[in-house]
Amino acid sequence: MDVNIYTLLGQLMVLLIVILLILIIITLILGLYTIKMDRLIFPRLLLFTLNITQSSIRYILRFFKLDELMIDRISIDLRNKINEEKFEQLDAKDVIMVLPHCLRINSCPAVLGPSGLECVKCGKCSIGIIKEVADKKGIDLYIVPGSTFIKNVVKKRPFKGVIGIACPIDLNNAMTALENFTPQGVYLLKDGCIETLVDVDEVIELMNRTQPQRSYTKESILKSGG
């Protein structure tokens, strides 16, 4: 029986496309369910399909002019949920936090050091409040202007867990790269190059959940004057 190699390759290509479409549908359904219902369904399967289909889903969302960052938010929320229990068992001293420099104000008095910006807690942006809680908890905080500084931080200081704050796409990439650790992420409410916004209460809550657990709040820090 003669076999046409081109026909065989065509059939194989169609099969691969069908499999990819099935994986994309599974990923979107499970991902949206996870976000809407705040419940994990087949987390390892979803993480596997996410890793395979992210670029394809992003292209499809972009093609139909939909929010392509949706796939990043799904990935971040999924990784947060998968690592949640393990993260809560970590000592604060074994956790680091990485903030983007864009959270600072335009007139920020911080200077750039070897490990990033050195916050002076001037009180003019959210970084000061976050740093105050981090200092009380014993969590090392790094304010980085770029990926080069993140690499320096990873090499400089051993850690088991990391709290990352960034725009969805950068945070998703960072959490994927740090999956051998125990990452937790909070994505920015407002993107940009400077004076971006993050949910400070959510960040503080993450720090509170490290051991020993505490109940710091933004209001208590402001009331105490630091």
Q: How confident is the model at residue 166 (pLDDT cuts 50, 70, 90)?
A: very high
Q: What is the pLDDT of residues 5-53, one digit of tens each?
A: 767 777 777 777 777 788 878 877 877 777 677 777 777 778 888 888 8
Please state whether 125 falls in left (phi above 0), alpha (psi between -120 and 50) or beta.
beta
3-state helix, strand, coil in the chain (%, to 5): 55, 15, 30
The whole-number pLDDT of residue 87 equals 97
Q: Which two three-digit tokens encode residue 180? A: 């051998």
Q: What is the pLDDT of residues 48-75, one digit of tens each?
A: 888 888 888 888 888 888 888 888 988 8
Least Cα distance to 79 among 192, 221, 223, 182 occurs for 182
Q: Is the dihedral of CA 97, 98, 100, 101 positive or negative?
A: positive
Instruction: Kindly report, residue by residue over 186-202, the tens digit of the pLDDT.
Output: 999 888 778 899 999 99
Residue (of 97, 79, 106) closest to 206 by Cα position: 97
Give the contacts of 136 (CB within 8 A, at least 6 positions apart).
214, 216
User: Can you give the pLDDT at residue 177?
Assistant: 87
pTM of the complete model: 0.84
